[in-house]
Amino acid sequence: MSDIFREIDEELRRDNLLKLWAQYGRYAIAAAAAALLVAGGIVAWRSHQQSLRQAESRQYAVALALARDGKTKEAEKQFEAVAAEGGGYAVLATLQRAHLLAKAGDRTGADALYREVEHSDAAGPVFQGLALLAAAETDFATADPKSIIARLAPLTAKDNPWRPSALDLSAAARLKLGDKPGAAALYKQLAEDPQAPRSLRARAAELAAALGS
């Protein structure tokens, strides 16, 4: 008797499944198709993004090669084109372009680009700090030393990756002001900074000693 009841139970389950499939099967197929479309779209998008990154990388490499060969104008235009694409190399290309302009004597153009990166949230704090530092170096010869010191102050924090360079430039600005004790104090900080390159620490120690610190 138990076998009969089991067979009846299985038949009822099969009937119920068939009814459920007849009622909701098309939705299951639609859901599966949608899932496949989404998955396929993600794969296609990733492939497209990878292709774009590879193209940007090649364009950036071409610009670097032009710069190394001394073809400054061609390199500057190529970096401008890469930056205009707005991809992953945009910030680097903008910084490289600014560097070329500064070397060519166009301090105004270079400063504008450095400030663009400095105030760009997309650049991130590391590149923003680098742009600030580069802009201060570009403006150093003509700017008020006090403004240089004030601009660099955020970079002199102990946890900032640009601290050694910021301290070095700030000390030079204080020397330009005639503030030898202030410069010596900064050079001493730099000489004792374990994050600073060894050669920079050694030079800072010599300057601090020469200034009487």
Secondary structure class of 141 (helix, strand, coil):
coil
In 3D space, the residue among 140, 137, 95 whose CA is nearest the CA of residue 116 turns out to be 95
- pLDDT in the model for residue 185: 94
Distances (CA, A) of 202 to 68, 196, 197: 31, 10, 9
pTM for the complete prediction?
A: 0.70
Residue type, 121: D
Cβ count within 10 A of residue 11? 10
Contact 171/187 with Cβ under 8 angstroms?
yes
- pLDDT in the model for residue 72: 85
Contact 135/102 with Cβ under 8 angstroms?
no
Distances (CA, A) of 172 to 13, 49, 183, 184, 185: 86, 45, 7, 10, 12
Token pair of 141 as six digits = 């010869």
- pLDDT in the model for residue 52: 52
Per-residue pLDDT of the chain (213 residues; tens, 9 = 90+): 444 334 434 544 555 555 544 555 444 444 444 444 444 444 443 544 455 566 777 888 888 888 888 888 998 898 898 888 877 788 888 888 888 898 888 889 989 999 999 998 888 898 899 999 899 988 888 889 999 999 999 999 988 999 999 999 999 999 999 999 999 999 999 999 998 889 989 999 998 999 875
Residue type, 185: A
